[in-house]
Amino acid sequence: MMGKGNILLNFIKENIALHEIDEKFTLDTELFNSGIVDSFGLLEILMFIEEEFSVKIESYQVVENDSNTIKKIIDLVELYK
């Protein structure tokens, strides 16, 4: 079964990424400063998380916790579960 991180990774790859992402795109890739995800994308990620994992996270919680990678976002998901 696919872990939460990989589910989110696939969602970002297929729906959010602002530009082509290469094979190096992993759970540890910087999402925001790298230009892969903008504020619109962040909102979509959070809506996906709410729907998929039934966890509500606000965008400022991602920003203020410096959750700038998929791995760190999943840590937040676990924290607020």
Partner 1 sequence: MKNLDEKELIKRKQELEELLISFKQKIKILIENGDIENAEKLLEKYVDIGKKDSDIYNMQGIISIFKRDYNEAEKLLKKSLSEDYSNMDTYFNLGFLYEILKKVNESELAYFLAKIYEKQENRLNQNNVKEWKVVLLGENTSDLDFYNKFRNDINILGILKLDENNNLDKNFSFFKIKDLKLLNYDYIILTDMELEDYKIKLKKLVDFGIEENKIFMAKNLEIEFEIEGFNYRISEFIQKNKIEGIITGLSYAEVGINTNFFNGEFINFALSSQDLYYDYKLLEYFLKIEKVKNNIKYVILNLAYYSFDFDLSRTLERNRVHRYYPIIKDTHNYKDEFRIKLLNKMYNLRWTNEDYAEINNLKKNIVMRNDKETIQKGKKCAIYHSKMKSEEIKKENLEIFETILKLLKQNNISPLILICPVSKYYYEHYDKKRIKEFYCNIDFYIQRDNIKIVDFFDSELFDNSDFWDDSHLNSKGAIKLTKLIEKEL
Binding site for partner 1 (CB under 8 A): 32-33, 38-40, 42-43, 47, 58-60, 63-64
Instruction: State which residue, 6 or 43, has the beta carbon closest to partner 1.
Output: 43
3 vs 6: CA distance, rounded Å: 5
Instruction: State which residue, 3 or 80, has the beta carbon closest to partner 1.
Output: 80
Q: Are 8 and 71 in contact (CB under 8 A)?
A: no
41 vs 17: CA distance, rounded Å: 8
Instruction: State which residue, 40 or 80, has the beta carbon closest to partner 1.
Output: 40
In angstroms, give the least distance from the CB of 78 to partner 1.
21
Q: Which two tokens stand for residue 12?
A: 């970002």
> Cα-atom radius of gyration of the chain, to the nearest Å?
11
In angstroms, give the least distance from the CB of 60 to partner 1.
4
